[in-house]
Amino acid sequence: MAGEARTERRGPRAARLPATITAWLRREADAARRSAHRALQAPGPERDAAAQALKAALAAFLAWAVTAWWWEAPMALMAPWAAVVLVQSTVYRSLHSAGLQLAVVTTGTLLAAGAAALTGSIVAALLIALPPATLIGRYARLGEQAAYAPTTVLFVLAYGSYSAAEIGHRLLETLVGAVIGIAVNALVLPPVHARELRHVLGALPDRTADLLAAMSGTVREGYGPVDAGGWYDRALALRRLVGRLEQARRWADESVRLNPGHRLRRPGPAGSGGSVEQDARWSAVAEQGVRITAVLAEAAEDRPGFAPLPAQVRLPLADFLRGTAELARLASPDAGLGLAEHRVRAARAERLAGGAQRQMFRVLAQQYEAATPAVGELVAATQRLLRALTEGGAPCLPHQHTPGRSTPGPAGPVVRQEDCP
**Which residues lie below 8 Å from residue 247, measured CB to CB, with a gap of 6+?**
none
Residues in the chain: 421
Query: Does residue 68 register a pLDDT over 80?
Result: yes
Widest CA span in the chain:
91
Q: How far is CA 148 from CA 41, 76, 133, 211, 284, in A?
A: 37, 17, 9, 49, 43
Please state, in angstroms and rounded to a whole number, the distance separating the CA atoms of residues 45 and 36.
11
Do 341 and 412 contact (CB within 8 A), yes or no?
Answer: yes
Architecture of domain 195-258+273-419: Up-down Bundle (1.20)
For residue 207, what pLDDT is reported?
95
Identify the top-confidence range among 185-189, 195-199, 258-262.
Answer: 185-189
For residue 104, what pLDDT is reported?
94
Could you read off the pLDDT of 14-60 as tens digits, one per residue? 556 677 777 777 787 777 777 776 767 767 678 788 889 999 999 99
Do 283 and 242 contact (CB within 8 A), yes or no?
Answer: yes
Could you read off the pLDDT of 134-155 as tens digits, one per residue? 999 999 888 888 999 999 999 8
For residue 12, what pLDDT is reported?
58
For residue 397, what pLDDT is reported?
41
For residue 407, what pLDDT is reported?
36
SS3 content of the chain, % helix, strand, coil (to 5): 75, 0, 25
String of DSSP letters for 205-229: HHHHHHHHHHHHHHHHH---HHHHH
Could you read off the pLDDT of 236-245 as tens digits, one per residue? 999 999 999 9
**pTM for this prediction:** 0.72
For residue 51, what pLDDT is reported?
86
Domain chopping of the chain, boundaries: 46-187, 195-258+273-419
First-to-last C-alpha distance (Å) of the chain? 85
Do 246 and 279 contact (CB within 8 A), yes or no?
Answer: yes
